């Protein structure tokens, strides 16, 4: 039975009405009443001096597997996030076959997760019966579709393969997925051309879903990649979202303004495009996807390792990387964040430069050894972005705030060490945006700031009855202190929940009380309307 609550004395803050003084009554998991003054109920929360906002909707997540391992989702709910949107960057947990499946099995076995599903319908069935503190929405990944049909082959899909991808896409949409994601820097998604993406985006548009794309290039070819994204949106009629909008690498920083101009012009033209962004200057990704030329990762993990082991091929790869990245500090900007959890953790927290110095050699030799020793399972942070661009991007009204992170627990043991150093954005994104960029820097006001975390992502994803403080909406709420909210997670110490978030409700149940997790798991797996 969901408890009925009153929350009294607080200032309410949401995108539609801004700041106002009112009390809330929750009943049956929903906001039953909003009134200037309400009588206390048996369950009464005196929130005088605090602010109540809709729970944050983290529009860009990678929690599709972690959700089964860490049902309490501490990094989300302790940060005020009540809905997690996963399956981004082309990597959904369905369909799950072949090497795409093998890779996930190897990664998650170490965390105690047995992957016992293949299809979208099976995944949703498992998710529906799994406890979760946070609500969960999912996208189907183009990379997963392509892996299931074409494998890791670096070639265009045949017409028959496209039809089979389309069938798997339809299955996922019918199972409840909110749209399609792509990860066009990652194999096998990177082998698709725009035609293939358009063909798959069309049925998504017809179903009312959206297309979220980690575009093909965020650095030297950023503008071409934005153009390709806009072509997919224009030709298919789909609503489109650029994932983690950025200009990567110092020499590309001047392009951010042009990327923004292109998105603005597209919106003026009537295209429904948006973006998401986390408030940090480092990205986090796979070391091989970041470093190696596309031809060097083609064909899957075994082929990649064989190329790195062959002296002549290895030399060619080294030459290409040095040519692509002549900047002297490139290897100082890349830090090992996590490696295969069942192997040596020595490299975690060190830059490629530092690893090379220790080994007395070239940073690339150190990087290749790392890929070999960890079966290519190496995650890195890459300090690649500029603060000036970050502020320019966050100021754009169509940019929702998304962490680009998997949900995490709050570890107290050796398991934490094996999990490496997650990006601080996992815990810090929402609080850093509100504390630093809204309150301290005044980049946007509170009403606009809260919109980027609530009703804007709700509208992009197509979440009904969430993201707004209105009677009848689901009671996903965060009760926080506008003067105190601040991130505490850092690159060196990322396992830290933010300050200033006092209480969090998910579907009317309290999951955070006085900054501590209550153990409640009222979260649901959400499905696209009509499924």
Region near Zn ion per CB under 5 A, out of 86-94, 263-271, 411-419, 489-497: 86-94
Q: How far is the CB of 189 from Zn ion (least distance, A)?
A: 10
Contact flag: residue 374 with Zn ion (CB under 5 A): no
As measured in angstroms, the least distance from the Cβ of 244 to Zn ion is 6
Considering beta carbons, is residue 248 or 455 the nearer one to Zn ion? 248
Q: Tokens for 197?
A: 């993406």
- Out of 79, 89, 321, 497, point to the residue binding Zn ion (CB under 5 A): 89
Give the nearer residue to Zn ion in terms of CB position, either 30 or 214: 214
**How near is the Cβ of 265 to Zn ion at its closest, in Å?**
24
Considering beta carbons, is residue 137 or 356 the nearer one to Zn ion?
137
Which runs of consecutive H residues, i.e. helices, occur in 221-362? 222-236, 256-268, 287-291, 294-297, 301-309, 311-324, 352-359
Closer CB to Zn ion, 402 or 500, in the complex: 402
SS3 content of the chain, % helix, strand, coil (to 5): 40, 20, 40
Secondary structure (3-state) at 21 = strand
The answer to whether 184 and 191 have CB atoms below 8 angstroms apart is no
Stretch that binds Zn ion, among 88-96, 247-255, 363-371, 502-510 (CB under 5 A): 88-96
* Shortest distance in whole angstroms from residue 434 CB to Zn ion: 23
* Residue partners of 141: CB distance under 8 A and separation at least 6: 87, 88, 89, 90, 91, 92, 180, 181, 182, 183, 189
CA 254 to CA 385: how far, in whole Å? Answer: 11
The smaller minimum CB distance to Zn ion, of residues 197 and 469, is found at 197
Return the closest-CA partner of residue 241 out of 221, 219, 261, 263: 263
The least CB distance from residue 60 to Zn ion, in Å, is 8
Comparing CB distances to Zn ion, the nearer of 141 and 498 is: 141
Contact 215, 90 (CB under 8 A): no
**Which letter does DSSP use for residue 435 in this model?**
I
> Rounded to an integer, what distance in angstroms lies between the CA atom of residue 276 and that of residue 289?
21
| Smaller CB separation from Zn ion, 278 or 480 | 278
Size of interface with Zn ion, in residues (CB under 5 A):
2
Block residue for tokens 């110490």: 493
> Cβ 218 to Zn ion, closest distance in Å?
9
Closest CB to Zn ion among residues 186, 437: 186
Q: Which stretch binds Zn ion (CB under 5 A): 81-89, 267-275, 346-354, 418-426?
A: 81-89
Contact positions with Zn ion (CB under 5 A) in 205-244: 214
Angle, CA 515 vertex, CA 8 and CA 423 arms, to 5°: 130
Question: Site mask, Zn ion, residues 35-74, x = CB under 5 A?
Answer: ----------------------------------------
CB of 51 to Zn ion, least distance (A): 31
Span interacting with Zn ion, options 85-93, 102-110, 351-359, 515-523, rule CB under 5 A: 85-93
Please list the residues that pair with 74 across neighbouring strands: none
Shortest spacing between CB 90 and Zn ion, in angstroms: 8
Q: Among candidates 462, 443, 450, 486, which has minimal Cα distance to 16?
A: 450
Closest CA to 132 of 411, 458, 439, 526: 526
| CA atoms within 13 A of residue 260's CA, in its CB half-sphere | 19
- Least Cα distance to 138 among 214, 216, 36, 63 occurs for 63
Q: Which residues bind Zn ion (CB under 5 A)?
A: 89, 214
């Amino acid at each position: 039975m969901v408890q009925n609550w009153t929350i009294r004395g607080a200032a309410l803050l949401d995108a539609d009405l801004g700041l106002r003084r009112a009390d809330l009554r929750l009943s049956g998991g929903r906001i039953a009443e909003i009134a200037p003054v309400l009588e206390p109920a048996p369950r009464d929360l005196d929130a005088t001096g605090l602010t109540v906002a809709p729970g944050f909707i983290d529009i860009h997540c990678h929690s599709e597997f972690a959700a089964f391992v860490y049902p309490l989702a501490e990094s989300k709910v302790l940060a005020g996030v009540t809905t997690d949107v996963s399956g981004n960057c082309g990597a959904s947990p369905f369909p799950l076959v072949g090497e795409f499946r093998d890779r996930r099995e190897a990664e998650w076995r170490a965390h105690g997760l047995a992957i016992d599903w293949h299809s979208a319908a099976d995944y949703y069935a498992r998710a529906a019966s799994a406890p979760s503190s946070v609500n969960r929405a999912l996208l189907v990944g183009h990379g997963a579709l392509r892996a299931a049909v074409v494998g890791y082959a670096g070639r265009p899909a045949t017409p028959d393969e496209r039809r089979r991808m389309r069938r798997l896409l339809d299955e996922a949409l019918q199972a409840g997925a909110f749209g399609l994601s792509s990860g066009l820097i990652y194999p096998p998604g990177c082998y698709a051309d725009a035609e293939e993406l358009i063909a798959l985006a069309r049925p998504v548009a017809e179903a009312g879903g959206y297309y979220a794309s980690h575009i093909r290039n965020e650095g030297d070819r950023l503008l071409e990649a934005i153009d390709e994204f806009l072509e997919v949106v224009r030709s298919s009629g789909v609503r489109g979202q650029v994932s983690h909008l950025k200009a990567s690498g110092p020499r590309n920083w001047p392009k951010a303004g042009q990327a923004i101009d292109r998105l603005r012009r597209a919106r003026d033209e009537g295209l429904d495009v948006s973006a998401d962004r986390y408030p940090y200057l480092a990205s986090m990704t796979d070391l091989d996807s970041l470093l190696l030329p596309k031809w060097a990762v083609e064909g899957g993990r075994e082929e990649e390792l064989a190329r790195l082991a062959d002296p002549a091929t290895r030399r060619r790869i080294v030459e290409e990387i040095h040519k692509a990245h002549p900047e002297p500090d490139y290897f100082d900007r890349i830090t090992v964040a996590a490696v295969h959890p069942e192997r040596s953790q020595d490299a975690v927290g060190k830059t490629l430069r530092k690893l090379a110095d220790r080994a007395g050699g070239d940073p690339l030799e150190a990087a290749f050894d790392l890929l070999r020793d960890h079966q290519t399972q190496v995650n890195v942070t890459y300090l690649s972005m500029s603060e000036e661009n970050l502020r320019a991007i966050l100021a754009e009204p169509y940019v929702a705030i998304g962490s680009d992170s998997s949900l995490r627990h709050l570890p107290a043991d050796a398991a934490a060490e094996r999990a490496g150093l997650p990006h601080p954005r996992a815990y810090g994104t929402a609080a850093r945006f509100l504390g630093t960029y809204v309150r301290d820097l005044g980049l946007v006001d509170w009403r606009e700031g809260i919109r980027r975390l609530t009703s804007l992502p709700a509208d992009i994803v197509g979440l009904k009855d969430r993201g707004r403080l209105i009677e009848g909406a689901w009671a996903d709420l965060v009760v926080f202190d506008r003067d105190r909210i601040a991130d505490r997670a850092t690159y060196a110490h990322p396992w830290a929940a933010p300050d200033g978030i006092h209480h969090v409700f998910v579907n009317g149940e309290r999951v955070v009380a006085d900054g501590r997790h209550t153990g409640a798991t009222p979260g649901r797996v959400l499905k696209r309307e009509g499924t």
